[in-house]
């Protein structure tokens, strides 16, 4: 049984289409790189706002019934640019339209953690499409209690879900599920935690962790 490698790519590594192409080259350079964890797109230059911070701003405005179009349009623009530059078309249009509708008409149904986690969720969706990989959501795959202790069942579920050695998997970092079935984010930089959790399953999956930022 070959030893699979978990690769984690931080925000700067997924900032634009050029960075996506670098990741593809890295993944394809070693056939054992089979589990890919990504953050939300980071800054492309020092003056730019991180996508995660734009999501926090969007939530703050939407939850108060205020116009959130300025940060939201910047978010859409970032994903649209990545999609267009990679030739993926309107891959995320439906997801973004659905989120915008909820924020406008039912903001109470969107939690802070859920909205902010969409940065990683949408990036992982794009990465999976670009790499021709299987997208696996970390909600509710990774479950933890109110003290952020990972449940034993999490490792069992990971082993089952990522059981095919021949498949390439892409997962979003930064979040999981609490025992009430809600999306909960880790602290900032939490995609590293996701990579570590996946790597810890190596007893059954023979995964070792390789962090790329």
Number of domains in the chain: 1
Show pLDDT as tens, one digit a residue, over the chain (213 residues). 468 899 999 999 999 999 999 999 999 999 999 999 999 999 999 999 999 999 999 999 999 999 999 999 999 999 999 999 999 988 899 999 999 999 999 999 999 999 999 999 999 999 999 999 999 999 999 999 888 899 999 999 999 999 998 999 999 999 999 999 999 998 767 788 899 899 887 544 444 444 444
Q: Can you give the pLDDT at residue 2?
A: 61
pTM of the model: 0.92
Instruction: Please measure the distance between the N-terminal and C-terminal CA atoms of the chain and give it in whole angstroms.
Output: 28
> What share of the chain has pLDDT > 70, as a percent?
92
- pLDDT given for residue 121 in this prediction: 98
Identify the CA nearest to 115 among candidates 136, 99, 127. 99
Predicted pLDDT at 187: 79
- pLDDT, tens digit, for every residue of 119-173? 999 999 999 999 999 999 999 999 998 888 999 999 999 999 999 989 999 999 9
Report pLDDT for 90.
83
**Structural domain span for residue 185:** 4-212
The CATH number of the domain holding residue 103 is: 3.40.1160.10
Give the pLDDT of residue 147: 85
Q: Using alpha carbons, select from 109, 185, 132 the residue that is nearest to residue 20.
A: 132
Written as one string, the DSSP assignment of the chain is ---EEEEEE-GGGGSSHHHHHHHHHHHHT-TTEEEEEE-----SSTTSPPHHHHHHHHHHHHHTT---HHHHHHHHHHHHHHHHHTT-TTTTHHHHHHHHHHHHH-GGG--HHHHHHHHHHHHHHHHHHHHT-EE---TTTSBB-TT-PBPHHHHHHHHHHT--TT--EEEE-SEEE-TTS-EEE-STTTHHHHHHHHHHTHHHH-EEEEEE-
Please classify residue 112 by burial: count the beta carbons closer than 10 Å to its beta carbon, then call 0-12 exposed, 13-18 middle and 19+ buried: middle
Retrieve residue 135's tokens.
Answer: 């997208």
């Amino acid at each position: 049984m070959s030893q699979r490698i978990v690769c984690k790519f931080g925000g700067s590594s997924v900032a634009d289409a050029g960075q996506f192409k670098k990741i593809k080259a890295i993944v394809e350079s070693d056939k054992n790189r089979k589990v890919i964890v990504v953050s939300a797109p980071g800054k492309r230059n020092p003056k730019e706002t991180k996508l995660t911070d734009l999501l926090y701003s969007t939530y703050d405005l939407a939850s108060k019934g205020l116009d959130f179009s300025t940060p939201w349009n910047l978010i859409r623009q970032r994903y649209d640019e990545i999609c267009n530059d990679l030739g993926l078309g309107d891959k995320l249009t439906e997801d973004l339209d659905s989120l915008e509708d909820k924020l406008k008409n039912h903001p109470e149904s969107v939690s802070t953690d859920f909205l902010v986690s969409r940065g990683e969720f949408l990036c992982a969706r794009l990465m999976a499409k670009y790499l021709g990989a299987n997208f696996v959501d970390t909600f509710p795959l990774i479950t933890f209690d109110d003290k952020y202790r990972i449940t034993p069942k999490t490792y069992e579920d990971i082993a089952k879900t990522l059981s095919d050695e021949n498949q390439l998997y892409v997962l979003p970092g930064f979040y999981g599920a609490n025992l009430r079935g809600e999306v909960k984010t880790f602290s900032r930089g939490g995609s590293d935690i996701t990579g570590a959790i996946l790597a810890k399953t190596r007893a059954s999956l023979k995964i070792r962790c390789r962090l790329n930022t």
